[in-house]
A and B are shown apart, each in its own frame.
Chain A
Amino acid sequence: MALLGPNGAGKTTAIRILTTLLKPDHGTAVIAGHDVLREPNEVRASIGLAGQSVTMDGYLSGLQNLTMIGRLYRFSRRDARRRGRELIERFRLADAANRPVDSYSGGMRRRLDLAASLMASPPVLFLDEPTTGLDPESRNTAWEVIRGLARSGTTVLLTTQYLEEADQLADTATIIDHGRIITSDTPTRLKAALGGGRLDITLTDPAAVARISKLKERALAVEGEGGALSFAIPNGDGGLGEVASILQALIDQGVEVDDYAIQRPTLEEAFLQLVGADERKPAVSEERSG
């Protein structure tokens, strides 16, 4: 699952509530069958968390950090060390295993953080912007790991600012802004909904807008002065028909067109458009409970 939203949308707050770090003002949530308010320690035993900030002790070595976390998960000393070594190797940190974490690069710290969240192989994993600030290579490694985990049955909830990342990793993407869910769907369907094109038309005579009042209602934006009109074009089969019907309407009314173009917005633009449109649309107010 991916939680998408711009900065300040409430992604981290949502994660903090779901991982028992923050008490919600009202309502509650259930993780792996345990209520975050009533059974916080049972929740903590079922989750792993890799936050936005690196949460390792800089003075301890990578292996010492993991062993400590293993012990805190109540593993025996030997198990904690063994599991720590295993993850250190899996995340290609073996060379730096005994160096203090302060000497690690940003990417290495992120990998160690991810390793820490996997110590107890939790059924539910929370990753708060796991790839923000990573170089492309580290990001690909992280993606591979996350895909592998999801395939092996771990529920992964990750937050991201990038639709592309959600598309790569998630079965469900939920877009939030100002703490509210805007929409939730499979990334493919979201992409289809978001990623449609735009037909931009500039009329030769701006005043002619008056003659196409019906068409005007369908427009996304009308810039009266320049006579520019924009229309949303859905993805797929509907798209061509939509373009044809708009153009036909113009021809029927005898409105002369100075310029026209079909724009394909990037996914990011489309996403921002949707988030920006939040204020105008009634928000989908469906409370999530698990």
Chain B
Amino acid sequence: MTHAAAAIPRAEQRPMLYWALSDTWELCKRVIIQIRRTPGEVISLVIMQPVLLIVLFRYVFGGAVETDQASYADFLIPGVIGANCALVGTTAAVSVATDISSGIVDRFRSLPIAQSAILGGTVLANTFRSMLALVAMVLMGVLVGFSPEADLGGWLAVIALLFLVSYAFSWLIAILGVVAGSEEAAWQMSALVWPLTFVSSAFVPTQSMPSALEAFAANQPISQAIDATRALLLGQPVGDSVWVTVIWCVGIAVVSATIAGVLFRRKFS
């Protein structure tokens, strides 16, 4: 190198795991900046959608639903919150598909980074986006009569749990983003999650469903997450739901991240 070498920064020496996390964080920050620069999208997708669900179910269907809670709002709000953490994966799929089709993924793939960070950063950022929706839903919930009983510990547990749920489902649905390859296709494909969120304990008690459907609805991961959220927010006994949710989510995240990674690599070979 010539005299200019002094001015060119050198790569720092750190363990591989540090770099995998650092790369993920840098690529996550990129998407967070995107979110900050597109307030309209945030309001319509992240906030309006769950808020509309709340209004729709609370006032249109709510009167017809019998639950074991003090009010339908107490039943519904934790349900919508939990269900939305699964739905939020949609935006992860769209981000991934948009990046793949725009060519920016080529830039990242030509850099000496942990290649897992390319999808991992987007998924992590999407998880933060989901937390934004969480805040909006709790505030809207309180407006429509939701009265949470949780103490600080309960709230922290809910936040940690839903962070994990959002992270896992963002990975799961990011697979569709890799497969779709274009923004529009990603939107359409990720509509596949909607039935999963409706056939759950989010909006009506699963006991009210036909027995075959009930068996599925009561045990699927989104219902487990919703049951855990509901119990934690209402200060009721959580039973196994928290641990079952954690195990489900860790499993979903690991398996989905692996599948997404394999499909992502295959896409370029």
Which residues of A pack against B, CB within 8 Å?
A: 19-23, 41-42, 44-45, 47, 49, 51, 53-57, 59-60, 64, 68-76, 79-80, 82-83, 86, 100, 116, 120-121, 152-153
Contact = CB atoms under 8 A, between A and B. Distances in A.
A193 to B, nearest CB: 34
A74 B7 contact: no
> Ordered nearest first, which 3 A-B pairs have the shortest CB separation?
A79-B9, A55-B107, A45-B112
Contact of B30 (A22, A49, A60, A82): A60
Contact of A152 (B4, B12, B33, B113): B4
Contacts of A71: 22, 26
B104 A57 contact: yes
Interface string B9-28: 11110100001001100110
Contact of B8 (A21, A116, A121): A121
Nearest to A25: B269
B103 A74 contact: no
B211 interface: no
A59 B34 contact: yes
B94 to A, nearest CB: 14
A55 B106 contact: yes
Nearest to A23: B269
A41 B9 contact: no
Given A41-B112, A55-B102, A79-B9, 13 more contacts: A21-B268, A23-B269, A53-B103, A54-B103, A55-B103, A57-B33, A57-B104, A64-B33, A72-B26, A72-B108, A74-B19, A76-B12, A121-B8
A41 to B, nearest CB: 5
A59 B38 contact: yes
A56 B102 CA distance: 9
Contact of A20 (B4, B26, B102, B109): B109
Contact of B2 (A73, A79, A152): A152
B103 A51 contact: yes
Nearest to B34: A59
A152 B38 CA distance: 42
A100 B4 CA distance: 29
Contact of A75 (B4, B9, B106): B9
Contacts of B1: 121, 153
B212 interface: no
Nearest to A24: B269
A71 B25 CA distance: 10
Interface string B164-204: 00000000000000000000000000000000000000000
22 contacts: A19-B110, A20-B110, A44-B111, A44-B113, A55-B106, A55-B107, A59-B34, A59-B37, A60-B34, A68-B27, A68-B29, A70-B9, A72-B23, A72-B26, A72-B27, A73-B111, A74-B11, A74-B112, A80-B9, A120-B11, A152-B2, A153-B1
A44 B112 CA distance: 5
Contacts of A49: 106-107, 110
Nearest to A79: B9
Contacts of B268: 21-23
Contacts of A152: 2, 4
B107 A56 contact: yes
A47 B107 CA distance: 12
A188 B266 CA distance: 42
B34 A57 contact: yes
A276 to B, nearest CB: 31
B58 to A, nearest CB: 35
Contacts of A51: 103, 106-107
Contacts of B269: 22-23
A256 B210 CA distance: 101
Nearest to B2: A152
Nearest to B110: A49
A121 B29 CA distance: 24
Nearest to A74: B11
A42 B102 CA distance: 25
A150 B268 CA distance: 30
Contacts of A69: 107, 111
Contacts of A79: 9-10
A75 B113 contact: no
Contacts of B110: 19-21, 44, 47, 49
